[in-house]
């Protein structure tokens, strides 16, 4: 199958590909038609080799697992998953009405319309939570509308399952979209997935009724301060009952924030609301017998290396860079430093960072060259390159960690810090050897200890 599917092409002898609908970093989405039933579907084509290189296979598996469990009228349905040696195909419900975001972008909605969408959103989220699934990226862009005007929750790529919680019973991965994220998520201290999703639903309700965000500021740090305090004002046209409900939802304290069960008992929410009873069980998703692979577990197919099912993963796969989300990027930027809001580690070791448009393999090769010329020993694992001074040389006690973060496949941030040894020796090494050796790949240096 080519990188881009042509209109009219056949997929697995089962679907006829239609027009191109859109694309992301690793996937392209097409309209398609089921040749047997005539049903319109959406096909998301994922490049397996690309997602394997950046370590996102587990995220793909999680999305499949989640969508198998969630069979609800207000959630986009996954019909089938197919795979070849190089591609993964999600065959999904085709939702032709577009994003809710497009509707809100034209201005605020009438109270009745906003309430209807909010009711359907909460019904879907409540069902997800009952199955132990937390979305973690709820926003109007991830809410679609069908031809009847009914809301459909989509994009479970950042969702978490109940078993993802640590021993404290909380989730610890910072993710989501900044303007819609709950304040406790930003702190990276752990959070209740249900309460975090409720907060995002509250932001969405405000946007539906107001036509703009409750927490806005040109400076992201100031915006997060507003979020952490729950500092927002409802416009005068908001119904009094909706104002009261929003004050309970957008409570910065997750302990006192309203629960889903209490929210669904609220009088404003209950108006014209009908609870949908769901009884159907998810059916197992397997490969079609006529696909390019034998009909075995779809996860087995996904795990296969691109090009050969018998090919062993290369050792360099351990050097996949860490993927950065919006919060990591913000925290790495001095102008968006959020440390004043939370605890500050005064014992933080000297560090610097640089940005580069080179791939991770080039960054690693450059660091290996430096290590060889300066007689460092090298260890590589999980996006980290460790340089340890040779005990016989002048840098015997100096150890440096260089961690590679991926912002996009073509843009990386590398954080360099001293893990042991003399600080002055580290600074001298950065100034005299590290920066000159990296000048060909560095786009920009930043950080308090950057080489001068």
Block means of pLDDT (10 residues each) for the chain, 452 residues, are 70 92 79 95 87 73 78 90 87 90 90 97 93 85 91 73 48 59 78 89 96 85 86 94 96 95 96 76 44 48 48 44 54 44 43 79 87 86 81 66 76 83 84 85 65 41
Instruction: Give Cβ neighbours of residue 117 (< 8 Å, ≥ 6 apart).
Output: 100, 109, 143, 151, 208
Instruction: Give Cβ neighbours of residue 76 (< 8 Å, ≥ 6 apart).
Output: 92, 93, 95, 144, 152, 153, 154
Shared-domain flag, residues 356 and 250: no
Where residue 421 sits, what CATH number does that domain have? 3.30.310.80
Q: In the prediction, which pLDDT does 313 show?
A: 34
Shared-domain flag, residues 184 and 87: no
Shared-domain flag, residues 418 and 331: yes
Selected catalytic residue, list 137, 192, 251, 288 = 137
Please report whether residue 307 resides in a domain.
Answer: no
Please report whether residue 301 resides in a domain.
Answer: no
Annotated active-site residue 47? The verdict is no
Q: Which of 266, 67, 162, 376 is nearest to 416 (CA)?
A: 376
Q: In the prediction, which pLDDT does 295 show?
A: 35
Q: In the prediction, which pLDDT does 324 show?
A: 56
Q: In the prediction, which pLDDT does 279 show?
A: 57
Residue 195 lies in domain: 100-270
CA distance 30 to 44: 7
Shared-domain flag, residues 75 and 127: no
- DSSP, collapsed to helix, strand or coil, labels residue 438 as helix
CA distance 379 to 362: 16
Shared-domain flag, residues 105 and 75: no
Instruction: Give Cβ neighbours of residue 51 (< 8 Å, ≥ 6 apart).
Output: 26, 57, 59, 60, 88
Tally of domains in the chain: 3
Please report whether residue 349 resides in a domain.
Answer: yes
Where residue 72 sits, what CATH number does that domain have? 3.30.200.20
Q: In the prediction, which pLDDT does 15 show?
A: 94
Q: In the prediction, which pLDDT does 448 show?
A: 42
Q: In the prediction, which pLDDT does 265 show?
A: 96
Diameter over CA atoms, the chain: 78
Shared-domain flag, residues 78 and 108: no
Shared-domain flag, residues 372 and 387: yes
Q: In the prediction, which pLDDT does 288 show?
A: 46
């Amino acid at each position: 199958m080519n990188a881009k599917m042509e209109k009219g092409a056949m997929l697995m002898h089962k679907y006829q590909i239609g027009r191109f609908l859109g694309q992301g970093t690793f996937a392209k989405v097409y309209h398609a038609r089921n040749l047997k039933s005539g049903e319109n579907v959406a096909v998301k084509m994922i490049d397996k080799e690309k997602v394997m290189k950046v370590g996102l296979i587990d995220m793909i598996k999680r999305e499949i697992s989640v969508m198998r469990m969630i069979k609800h009228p207000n959630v986009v349905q996954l019909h089938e998953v197919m795979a070849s040696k190089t591609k993964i195909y999600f065959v999904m419900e085709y939702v032709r009405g577009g994003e809710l975001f497009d509707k809100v972008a034209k201005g605020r909605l009438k109270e009745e319309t906003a309430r209807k969408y909010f009711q359907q959103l909460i019904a879907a989220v409540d069902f997800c939570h009952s199955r132990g699934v937390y979305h973690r990226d709820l926003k109007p862009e991830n809410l679609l509308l069908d031809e009847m005007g009914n809301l459909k929750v989509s994009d479970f790529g950042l969702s978490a399952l109940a078993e993802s919680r640590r021993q404290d019973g909380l989730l610890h991965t910072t993710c989501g979209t900044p303007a819609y994220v709950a304040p406790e998520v930003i702190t990276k201290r752990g959070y209740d997935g249900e309460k975090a999703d409720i907060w995002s639903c509250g932001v969405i309700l405000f946007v539906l009724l107001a036509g703009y965000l409750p927490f806005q500021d040109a400076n992201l740090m100031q915006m997060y301060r507003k979020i952490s305090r729950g500092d927002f004002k409802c416009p005068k046209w908001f119904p009094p009952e909706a104002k009261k409900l929003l004050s309970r939802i957008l409570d910065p304290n997750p302990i006192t924030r309203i629960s889903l069960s209490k929210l669904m008992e609220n009088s404003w929410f209950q108006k014209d609301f009908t609870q949908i009873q769901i009884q159907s069980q998810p059916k197992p998703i397997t490969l079609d017998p006529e696909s390019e692979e034998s009909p075995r577990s779809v996860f087995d197919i996904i795990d296969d290396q691109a090009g050969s099912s018998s090919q062993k993963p290369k050792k360099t796969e351990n050097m996949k860079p860490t993927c950065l989300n919006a919060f990591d990027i913000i925290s790495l930027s001095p102008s968006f430093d959020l440390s004043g809001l939370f605890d500050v580690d005064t014992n933080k070791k000297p560090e610097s960072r640089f940005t580069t448009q080179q791939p991770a393999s080039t960054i690693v090769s450059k660091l290996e060259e430096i290590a060889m010329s300066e007689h460092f020993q090298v260890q590589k694992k999980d996006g980290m390159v460790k340089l340890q001074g040779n005990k016989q040389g002048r840098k015997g006690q100096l150890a440096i960690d260089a961690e590679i973060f991926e912002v996009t496949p073509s843009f990386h941030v590398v954080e360099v810090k001293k893990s042991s040894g003399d600080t002055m020796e580290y600074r001298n090494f950065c100034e005299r050897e590290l920066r000159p050796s990296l000048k060909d790949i560095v786009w920009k240096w930043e950080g308090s200890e950057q080489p001068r």
